[in-house]
Amino acid sequence: MAKTRKPEFYPIILAGGRGTRFWPLSRKAFAKQLLPLNSSQSMIQETVERLLPLAPAENFWVITNGDLRANIARQLKTLPRKQIVAEPVGRNTAPAIGLAAFILHRRNPNAVLGLFPSDQVIVKDKQFRKDLQTGIAIAAAGDNIVVMGIKPSRPETGYGYIETGSAYQGDVTRVSRFREKPEKAVAEQFLAAGNFFWNSGMFLWSAQTLVNALRRDLPATARLLEKIAATWGTRNFEATLRKLYPKCQDKSVDYGILEPRSALGEQDSNIFCIPANWGWNDLGSWAAHFEHRINQGRHTDNVITSADHYFHEAHENYIHAPGKFVAAVGVEGLVVVDTGDALLITTIERSQEVGKIVKYLDQQKNSKLV
């Protein structure tokens, strides 16, 4: 009996964000995904490392921007430099993954593409890869889309949710629909229902499935991406990318592809959810980073980076001041980040608003601090 051929797998890593809520550490040319927020490696290096057992380095693609491309290439020396592609302008996740899809479709329509954010923490790497292998097999089996859903631990209002329906195989379920970021009361209902999962932003599909979806739901953008892909490997690629990519619709995968597809109905959309529990965190803010470090047992009360420190009746503070002696007396719930040229002082409760500082600095055209 002939062996079933293993699907060719291509990880596509999206790394174009600025990580503004991690200012002042995160900057335009050295954003959050390039920072060592979880280990001695940067977030994007960790992302590549956990995926390498599933695909060779030459199968990886990174979609980023011109500000970050050089530094990403320095950190990911084993990846083909030409496959670290800089968008001339940001056009959200659908055109980004779509560009890779049309390029790879010309090589192998049956190749399975995985879409991965570059800045997420995953603790249980082996279980993560096991679930991915399940998803890759489903994606390769037909006109299927697989989304990795995170089992919610709290009524989170900052994430989109996946509403799951009937069982498919094992723990894998069909997707009923995608739900936007909810109000607190609705998030509590989702948690209690038990069939809702956080949308991790990780998806699997064949190049053919994704190309077909783009042609159906974003036809004008699909035509542009196909023209750009036709020049891949030629001296005209960069010029064509600069000319045509800005004309693509600014659409996320969720709005541009998944929502129209899920509208076909649970049985006909062929969208599947793999429920996951890998110790996942998207580290969306200083508060999330504080909670992650505490949960990992690296700190018991305060999270501090410094040469030395003295704390007296100071609790649940996040302080980053490398190379300095830090003293904290009688304070609670603070976030203090010192980068030499900038000092952030806020509270853990208000740390989601740090992005407003970057907006202000952009308006002031203060390029040195962004």
Q: What average pLDDT does the segment 304-312 reach? A: 96
Cα 120 to Cα 117: distance, rounded to the nearest angstrom: 7
Between 363 and 157, residue with greater pLDDT = 363
pLDDT tens digits, 38-54 = 999 999 999 999 999 99
Can you say whether residue 175 is alpha, beta or left, with left for phi > 0 and alpha for psi between -120 and 50 degrees? Answer: beta
Least confident of 23-27, 264-268, 294-298: 294-298
Tokens 């690296």 locate to 298
Q: Which residues pair with 164 in a beta bridge?
A: 175
Strands (E), 180-237: 196-206
DSSP state of 79: S
Residue 296: its pLDDT value, please?
A: 81
Instruction: Give the rounded percent of residues in the chain with a pLDDT score beyond 70.
Output: 99
Strands 112-117 and 196-206, bridge-based pairing: antiparallel
Residue 2: per-residue pLDDT: 42
What's the mean per-residue pLDDT of the chain? 95
Q: 59-76: per-residue pLDDT in tens?
A: 999 999 999 999 999 999
Among the listed ranges 13-17, 53-57, 281-285, which one has the minimum average pLDDT value? Answer: 281-285
Has residue 226 got a pLDDT over 90?
A: yes
Which domains does the chain carry? 9-281 (3.90.550.10), 286-369 (no CATH)
How far apart are the C-alpha atoms of 318 and 311, rounded to whole Å?
Answer: 12
| Band of pLDDT at residue 4, cut at 50, 70 and 90 | low
Residue holding tokens 């196909």?
A: 226
Q: Region 322-345: what's the mean pLDDT?
A: 97
Report the pLDDT averaged over residues 245-251. 97
Q: Are 269 and 175 in contact (CB under 8 A)?
A: yes
HEC string of 99-114 equals HHHHHHHHHCCCCEEE
